[in-house]
Amino acid sequence: MARGRRVRVLPRAALAAAWVSLALVFCPCGAPGAGAQSPSGGGYATTDPDWRFTLHQRRVKVVLLAGSIGAFQQEPYARHLHQWCGNAEIRNLSRVGYGAWQLYEHLRSQVLENPRLPIGAQGVELWMIWNGGLNSAATGQRSNHYIRRAFRDAHRRGIRVVGLSLSPWGSLEDTRRWGGAAALETQRNTRRIVDFVMGRVSPAAALGPFAEHRETPADGPWRPEEQADVRVDLYDSPLRDRDAPVRDVTAMRALLTRDGRWMRTVEGLDPAAREARLAADAGTLAELPRWFLRREFRGFDAVHPNQAGHRAIAEMVCPRLPASWGCQCPSATTAPTSAR
């Protein structure tokens, strides 16, 4: 039998050190000093029901509530903000497919009823970034009802609110939502949600019959707790294709007069009122391509921004965030923070 080499058995401590060294070499944790995060932290969406804030040195605690745009996994805008704002720890609770109602319920279960949330902790600020409502944009007033409740309930727990409006979305190829008179209703509902988040519209216009659910008179002014503290308009922003060719107004007039759905909306109007409505709606349809997401910012469809789009969102939001977040914003603008 041939003699073999003696095998040296390393002490346990040496083996442990070797494994740690290998882990540091092969761990995909990011560059040294970058504040390595787990896949469910640092601005990336998490599905962990037992999530908690873990970066104790960051005294501004932030949750993000959004649908599939917020849940984007390839450098989402929340990740950029987490990296640029050194005092803020951002936990991304976005969910694919969630509309305003589902996000409101998610806020209640994952945030407001979360015993691990540091409510009342000394020296800690609590914030929510809200970017929801696109998945329920077909029902604008109902969506606003749940967004209003989210803002109200967050404020009552000491959580301040950054409201991000819906971003530009849609395509003329999507004829179900953006064809003929349907496009007018889709854009009205989208704008209704945008205008509510931005604080530009009355309770009656924003909520319709849902205004009756307010604790104050339905037609009374907004209360501070019902509105965002900081508001950022992503809809009328560099994200939209403001230089897209417009469509022919005459052709849009002809399209509407052949659309039974539109014709039903003008029944009973006198000729002058009907002509005024036709001119306004034809003009809206002609301008519609300029309110869609720019092609260079589109991801897999005309709704979801790609990595460049998320970077653009982060660059718009960052300079409008409170000084307490400690943000060092690239391409920062001098635009003032929209705050109440």
Structural domains of the chain, count = 2
CATH number reported for the structural domain that contains residue 181 in this entry: 3.40.50.1110
Same domain? 126 vs 257: no
Q: Chain-wide mean pLDDT for the chain?
A: 88
The range of the structural domain enclosing residue 148 comes to: 34-242+292-325
CA distance 268 to 311: 49
Same domain? 209 vs 233: yes
Are the CB atoms for 89 and 55 separated by under 8 Å?
A: yes
Same domain? 262 vs 314: no
DSSP β-bridge partners for residue 319: none
* pLDDT computed for residue 71 by the predictor: 97
Which residue is listed with tokens 């209360």?
Answer: 223
Q: Please, what's the b/e burial string for 120-151 (b: 16 or more CB within 10 A of its CB; e: otherwise)? A: eeeebbbbbbbbbbbbbbebbbbbbbbbbbbb
Mean pLDDT of 164-169: 98
Same domain? 179 vs 167: yes
In a domain, 11, yes or no: no
Which residue is listed with tokens 């009823």?
Answer: 113
Same domain? 154 vs 284: no
* pLDDT computed for residue 27 by the predictor: 29
Phi-psi domain of 256 (left: phi exceeds 0; alpha: psi -120 through 50; beta: other): alpha
DSSP 221-241: PPPGGGS-SEEE-SSSSTTB-
Same domain? 87 vs 208: yes
Same domain? 92 vs 130: yes
How many CB atoms are located within 10 Å of the residue 172 CB?
Answer: 14
Confidence bin at 41 (pLDDT 50/70/90): confident
Are the CB atoms for 16 and 23 separated by under 8 Å?
A: no
Q: Name the residue type at position 200.
A: R
Which H or E run contains 206?
Answer: helix 203-207
Same domain? 261 vs 180: no
Same domain? 177 vs 303: yes
In a domain, 189, yes or no: yes
Confidence bin at 40 (pLDDT 50/70/90): low
In a domain, 23, yes or no: no
Same domain? 228 vs 271: no
In a domain, 334, yes or no: no
Same domain? 111 vs 231: yes
Same domain? 133 vs 184: yes
Closest by Cα among 75, 51, 80 to 63? 51
Give the tens place of pLDDT for each residue, 268-277: 999 999 999 9
Q: Name the residue type at position 74.
A: Q
* pLDDT computed for residue 78 by the predictor: 98
Contacts of 290 (CB under 8 A, 6+ apart): 240, 241, 242, 243, 244, 246
Whole-model pTM: value is 0.85
Closest by Cα among 134, 151, 137, 154 to 199? 151
DSSP β-bridge partners for residue 339: 230
Enter the DSSP assignment of 161: E
CA dihedral 111, 117, 119, 121 (to 10 degrees): -160
Tokens of residue 66, six digits: 């959004």
* pLDDT computed for residue 340 by the predictor: 52
In a domain, 19, yes or no: no
Give the tens place of pLDDT for each residue, 210-244: 999 999 999 899 999 999 999 999 999 999 999 99
DSSP 241-296: -TTSPPPPHHHHHHHHHT-HHHHHHTTT--HHHHHHHHHHHHHHHHHGGGGSBPGG
Percent helix, strand, coil in the chain, to 5, is 45, 10, 45
Percentage of residues in the chain having pLDDT higher than 90: 82
In a domain, 312, yes or no: yes
In a domain, 10, yes or no: no
In a domain, 40, yes or no: yes
Mean pLDDT of 254-279: 97
Mean pLDDT of 115-139: 95
Crossing angle between the packed helical segments 180-197 and 140-156, to the nearest 10 degrees = 10
* pLDDT computed for residue 11 by the predictor: 45
CA distance 323 to 327: 7
